[in-house]
Amino acid sequence: MEDEPVELFESSRERQKYDDQASLYAIIVATEHLERAFARDAVSDAEYTTQCNKLISQFRLSEKAVCGKDMTTE
Q: What is the dihedral of CA 12, 17, 19, 23, to 10 degrees?
A: 160
CATH number for the domain whose boundaries are 12-67: 1.20.1440.200
Q: What is the number of other CB atoms lying within 10 angstroms of the CB of residue 6?
A: 5
pTM: 0.77
Terminal Cα distance for the chain, rounded: 47
The three-class DSSP label of residue 66 is: helix
Question: Domain boundaries in the chain?
Answer: 12-67
Closest C-alpha among 54, 66, 56 to residue 23? 66
Read off the pLDDT of residues 12-54 as tens digits, 9 standing for 90 and up: 989 998 999 999 999 999 999 999 999 999 999 999 999 999 9
Read off the pLDDT of residues 50-70 as tens digits, 9 standing for 90 and up: 999 999 999 999 999 888 755
Q: What is the dihedral of CA 42, 48, 52, 53, to 10 degrees?
A: -160
